[in-house]
Structure 1
Amino acid sequence: MDKVYHFLTLASIALYWFLVAGVTLRVVLKRNAVSVSLAWLMVIYILPILGVICYFLFGELNLGRKRADRAKDMFTPFGEWFQSLNECKAHMPETMGAHIYKIDELCNYRMGIPALSGNTLSLLNSPNEILHSIIDDIEQAQSTIRIVFYIWHPGGLADSVASALIQAAKRGVDVKVLLDSAGSPRFFRSHWEKMMRDAGIELIQALEVSPWRIFLRRLDLRQHRKIIVIDNKVAYTGSMNMVDPAYFKRKSGVGQWIDIMVRITGPTVNVLSAIHCWDWEVETGKRELPPQPECLINPHLPQHPIQVVPSGPGMPENLISQVLTLAINQANESVCITTPYFVPSADLLATLKMTAQRGIKVDLIIPLKNDSLMVQWASRAFYGELLEAGVTIHKFYGGLLHTKSVVIDRKFCLVGTVNLDMRSLWLNFEVTLAVDDQEFTEEMHWLQQSYIEQSKEVEYERWEKRPLGYRFLERVFYLFNPLL
């Protein structure tokens, strides 16, 4: 019997080391960013067995075979639809500013999506203003409503939006709603799901969470976009989920969530509609491309070009990260960033430091309190070198600042769903808008300044004197960077 136990022990040890060696080789051959690969190797070695399991669950961008096959088949027809926009009169590269011109070149080359002019934009930053505006537009809908959100949380004005959708469906409007399964569990357990389906609304759970699929695809891959398109004439996107902040996470201890949405009319609406169609087909296999936008441009009016930048499995890798880097590198005077979750890649960290070191004013506004303890500690690991490089860090104390925005030189901005962490830049389905509109950008600038007025600046000298225990926790949570 002792020999059997001895043999089983040796066999278990050999199997474990064979498994670790195999996963190590897989990590190295994947050719991820060096920081990501090293972080995963640390997790695998520090957490025996558990680290290996974590890698299989979260280590690779695995969409699942069925969805991956659909995305592959979709790329050509969607690419042709996007490419056709280059023939549209709304694509006016000769009138674009320098910032968006280079981003137009990049997105056109990698995915065929051009920047389109002839839009109008409205910046909405009050929850009541946002939700009432959405309700008003839904009540005016005549033919179609297309919606995708990460979180739909019942309560308050979010219920009024649901009621408006049900009434729209009952009067014959074709309503399609796509909600992330992990982000919206409370909605799918509520009475609203049945009421919507009974009214004829097509309601789909994106990336459904199931224990049976635990090793078939990456479970923390999420549908993080926020898009509403009504009659292919009006669209919304931004940082706000379909929630009423007065009813959302009230006991989390971080205060009310602070968000923005952008209301858009013009040719860009159809591009956002196409992104919804992409997501819908990935989940359902059903194709329904939107009509081509009307491209009648008045040359005597401001053109307001917008570049839609999507990302996610099946789309060109790192596109949003490239756009972000390209935008920051073009700064001549200032860069101001707001993000709730700040765990940057090595490349983004280097870009921010270099921008500050070449004399550009760089401001980073992040919430004082975060709903993710791991992210809060991991982000602190970057403060020292950012402060030393000349970046100014502002800790916002007016709630959980959830706005995702970048303003360059007060002339050009990026707004959307993208956080400055590996999850948004590398993993999730996201969308951002690159906006070349002086008036809109100025509004975004003044909103960021209001955030700074409700913030406290992190001082380098005081930061360097923080307790040793804090430094230890920062480095420990930093090791879990690939899981954040």
Structure 2
Amino acid sequence: MINFLNLILLNINIIIKIYIIIRIFLKHKDIKSYVLWYLILYIFPKIGIIIYFIFGEIYAKTQYKSEKAKKIWSHYSILLKKLQEYYGLYTKNIYINKKIQTLFLLCENKQNLSSMTNNSIKLLESSLKLFTSLIKDIKLAKHSIHIVFYIWIPEGLVNKIAKYIILAAKRGVKCYIMLDYIGSKKFFYSYWYQLMIQVGIYIIKSLKITIFNCFLSRIDLRQHKKIILIDNKIAYVGSMNMIDSTCLKKNIKVIKYIDLMVRITGPIVNTISIIYSYDWEIETGKYILSINQLKNNLVKYKNKNKNDINRIQVVFSGLQLSKKIIYNSLITAIFLSKKSLIITTPYLIPSNNLLSAICIASERGVNVKIIISKYNDSIFIYWASKFLFYKLLKSGVKIYQLKKGFLHTKSIIIDKKISFIGTVNLDIRSIYLNFEINLIIDDIIFNKSLLCLQNKYILKSQKLKYNLWIKRPYWKKIIEKLFFLFKFIL
């Protein structure tokens, strides 16, 4: 009897492995990706099956939500377009800078979101500046506050922000907070969570994982957006989490987060508001968008689209139509660069095509600079990214490692004229998996201030030299390659 059961289990195991092998072959287009999956299944025959089912598949629940999301997004994008056309803000054919027209039209065609002009954007280069500005705006909020973050750690100045949000809720402001279930666990286990619910603040655990759904959907899909909306007329977007880094553990190498956020007013805020409402409806099934607020905010901008100034395009990812819009916008921008390209990122593990695009840009004469932290909060990223340094340096790319703190800023500036700001890291997880948001900004004054900030980073960094890098110890090269291999699991 025991032998019979063992035979059945053996056959089931073989069938599952055959199924996985076929799935890997059909699903993974990158040859290195499915070779690595085969290797994992061979070396770890039992645990490898579990790893694949957790990280390698998109399950029925995720697929169902994705189909549902497409229908919901169709409604939102049509609504936004009608508002823009009614108020004379639809700017598809008005471009002074023809060079970047291709980039903006790509984003519009893939998302059904047009860029908007006549926006005002301010750079906030520290958490203190963000918190100071945010407190002022929360105090003046009259109708609504919408917040989404990957991480919310209830310590220090973050608790001060929470107090003002609670006070706003008590005076009748509708407050909505959406936090990633994994990234914000500390918040959900704190008394602030219950306190906010008690005063009527709506809080959801985005992409929640339970014992019941962990095998029905991808658990590594995370809500990575960072957005704050005040009355749907002021928006904050950037790379900062709701963290007071002075309260983090005293690790001298990465204690200080070096980050940025932008404060925006103008027609583009409506686009960001609609994206937030879309995400909220996907999570809860509830429609929270205030059409009247959107209309009121657009009145003063009516028919002011004749001057192509302060143009912003929003690019976002999630369970919507185009999964590759982040990638497509990045690679298009890199190929458009003619003179200079400066990339700031905490995590540097791009796809092969993106890596090649960066190297080719340098080889065709573009002055390419990459600014990255010397230290990292992930040992995986720390070693894996170093494997790429050789190819980048050989192609003439200049790599700068920030000596102190953890550089968490995600920004790109092309030819000093157009910039990317947002939540997207230059890694596969951000580009293909997580729910992200980027702003593409065509604003001369803002891009000058961003360029100035990037130059400050460079002054505080150590420049890597190709002739010294190739002489690093052989054991380091082996570790780098081993860690880098695992990027293809994604």
Q: TM-score, normalised by structure 2?
A: 0.93
Task: Name the SS of the counterpart of 2:326 in structure 1.
Answer: helix
- Greater shift, 175-184 or 73-82, is seen at 73-82
Distance 1:14 1:382 in 2: 42
Write out aligned runs for 1:52-451 (5 A).
Answer: 52-62=49-59, 64=62, 67-84=65-82, 87=85, 88-92=87-91, 93-251=93-251, 253-291=253-291, 292=294, 294=298, 295-296=301-302, 298=304, 303-451=309-457
- Please give the alpha-carbon distance, in whole angstroms, between the structure 1 residues aligned to 2:482 and 2:80: 44
Distance in 1 (alpha carbons) for counterparts of 2:398 and 2:186: 38
Whole-Å separation in 2 of the counterparts to 1:483 and 1:195: 41
What's the CA shift for 1:12? 5.1
Distance of aligned partners of 1:78 and 1:69 in 2 relative to their CA distance in 1, 3 Å threshold = same
Aligned counterpart, 2:44: 47
Structure 1, residues 211-251: CA drift from partner, whole Å, max 9, x if none? 22221111111000000111111000000011111113444
Aligned-partner residue type, residue 148 of structure 2: V
CA spacing shift, 1:289–1:475, aligned 2, 3 Å: same
**1:467 and 2:479 matched:** no
Q: Distance in 1 between matches of 2:385 and 2:117?
A: 37
- Alignment: residue pair count: 481
Map Cα deviations across residues 441-471 of structure 1 (whole Å, 9 max, x no partner). Answer: 1111111111111111121122111222111
In structure 2, the CA distance between the partners of 1:86 and 1:322, relative to structure 1 (3 Å rule), is farther
Q: Within 1, Cα distance between the matches of 2:326 and 2:189? A: 34
Aligned CA distance change for structure 1 residues 375 and 260 (closer, same or farther; 3 Å): same
Q: Give the C-alpha shift of residue 61 in structure 1.
A: 4.1
Contact 1:336/1:364, CA 8 A, preserved across alignment? yes
The amino acid across from 1:90 in the alignment is L
User: Once the 2 structures are TM-superposed, how far is the Cα of residue 298 of structure 1 from its aligned partner?
Assistant: 4.5
Deviations along 1:113-159, one digit per CA (max 9) or x if unpaired, are 00000100000002111111111101100001111110111111111
Structure 2 unmatched runs, 5+ = none
Distance 1:91 1:97 in 2: 17
Q: Secondary structure at the match of 1:19?
A: helix
User: Hey, what does 2:21 align to over in structure 1?
Assistant: 24
In 2, Cα distance between equivalents of 1:266 and 1:279: 21
Amino acid in the other structure paired with 2:89: A
Take 1:302 and 1:64, find their aligned partners in 2: how far apart are those partners?
A: 40
For residues 299 and 352 of structure 1, what CA distance do their matches in structure 2 show?
A: 34
1:311, 1:299 → 2: CA distance? 27
Distance 2:396 2:467 in 1: 13
Q: Tell me the alpha carbon deviations over residues 271-291 of structure 1, each in whole angstroms, 9 at most, x when there is no partner.
A: 111111011011100123343
In structure 1, what is the Cα distance between the partners aligned to 2:267 and 2:202?
Answer: 26
Q: Which runs of 5+ in 1 are unaligned?
A: none
The answer to whether the 8 A contact 2:246-2:255 is kept is no
User: Per-residue deviation at 1:475?
Assistant: 1.5
CA contact (8 A) 2:315 2:438 kept: yes
Change (3 A) 1:44 1:343: farther
Does 205-214 or 432-441 show the bigger shift? 205-214
Distance 2:282 2:401 in 1: 38
Contact 1:312 1:426 in 2 (8 A): no
Residue type at the aligned position of 2:337: A
Percentage of identical aligned residues: 39
Q: How far apart, in 2, do the equivalents of 1:146 and 1:230 lie? A: 7
Cα deviation, residue 108, structure 1 = 1.7
* Residue-by-residue CA offset, 1:284-341 (whole Å, 9 max, x unaligned): 0012334345132557977200000011223411101100111111101010001111
Distance of 1:20 and 1:479 partners within structure 2: 22
Structure 2: distance between partners of 1:218 and 1:95:
41
Asked if structure 2 preserves the Cα contact closer than 8 Å seen for 1:82 and 1:112, the reply is no
Q: TM-score, normalised on structure 1?
A: 0.94
Specify the code of the residue in structure 2 equivalent to 1:367: S
SS at match of 2:200: coil
- Kindly state the Cα deviation for residue 45 of structure 1 after the two structures are TM-superposed: 3.1
* Structure 1 residues 46 and 361: CA distance shift in structure 2, 3 A: farther
Taking the aligned partners of 1:169 and 1:296, their CA distance within structure 2 comes to: 31
* Cα pair distance change 1:300/1:274, threshold 3 Å: closer
Aligned partners of 1:64 and 1:199: how far apart in 2? 33
Equivalent-residue separation in structure 2 for 1:370 and 1:96 (angstroms): 41
| Cα deviations by residue, 1:77-133 (Å, 9 ceiling, x for unpaired) | 123124335525333342342354222211221111000001000000021111111
Distance change in 2, residues 1:34/1:278 (3 Å):
farther
Distance in 2 of aligned mates of 1:95 and 1:105: 10
RMSD: 2.1
